[in-house]
Amino acid sequence: MSGDDVRAREAEAEPASALAPDTTVEATPDQDPTFAPGYKPLRSATLTFTQAILGLQALAALFATTFVAGMANAGAVEASSGVIWGLGLWLMVMLGYAAGQQKKPWGKWLGWALQVPLLLGFFIDPAIAIVGVMFLALWIAALRIGGRIDRERAERDDAAAAAREGADTPSSNLGATNNSVANNGAADSSTASTTAASSTAPTTAANNSALSEGASE
């Protein structure tokens, strides 16, 4: 058997997978929850804070109404209990309604407007105004801190999305490289087989010719 035949058979026996490089892609980091399937963005921090503040303020309005109604019954405030309870219940309902509308653009403005009634309670009793100032400070803090947290979350989500896109791109490129290498390996094997067949043909023809001449003699 000639050397060309040996090389041709070795080329045919060598699997195409041996020519392909290792294309294993590292798994997505488990510590990043944004890579998990079905990941849902976290609830807005601003929405959570403002709704909580307005809900607590509705309870404060209930206590303030009870306090002012007691003062009216004692004669310290010149107003009927019906009017006081009516205004107090209206304020509580509006605060609860505003808490449910914080997802809308005008919900924040409604929240700002509802900070005024407790501040005006100064003309009834300074303690009511003090409570109003406390809730105003909490409202401002909720908007500022919640907005900062939401911006940081958005930046982190954008970075995670960019990382996912970067992880997907090399995988597709490696797949194309694998196919190209495998095709090249198959082409090389075919070329080697053709070359071996071409080199063997003259030798076989010469042997057949020699045998024919020997038989005729």
> Which residues fall within 8 angstroms of residue 71, CB to CB, at 6 or more apart?
77, 124, 125
* CA 189, chain centre distance (Å): 47
Show the CA angle centred on residue 28, arms to residues 27 and 31, nearest 5°. Answer: 125
pLDDT value of position 148: 95
3-state secondary structure at position 153: helix
3-class SS string, 2-48: CHHHHHHHHHHHCCHHHCCCCCCCCCCCCCCHHHCCCCCCCCCHHHH
pLDDT in tens, 173-192: 555 555 555 555 555 555 55
Quickly count: other Cβ atoms within 10 Å of residue 15's Cβ. Answer: 9
CA distance 74 to 191: 109
pLDDT in tens, 117-164: 999 999 988 999 999 999 999 999 999 999 999 999 999 888 888 888
pLDDT in tens, 45-87: 999 999 999 999 999 999 999 999 999 888 888 888 899 999 9
> Which residues fall within 8 angstroms of residue 143, CB to CB, at 6 or more apart?
46, 49, 50, 108
Show the CA angle centred on residue 113, arms to residues 111 and 116, nearest 5°. Answer: 115
> Which residues fall within 8 angstroms of residue 122, CB to CB, at 6 or more apart?
128, 129, 132
pLDDT in tens, 82-107: 999 999 999 999 999 999 999 998 99
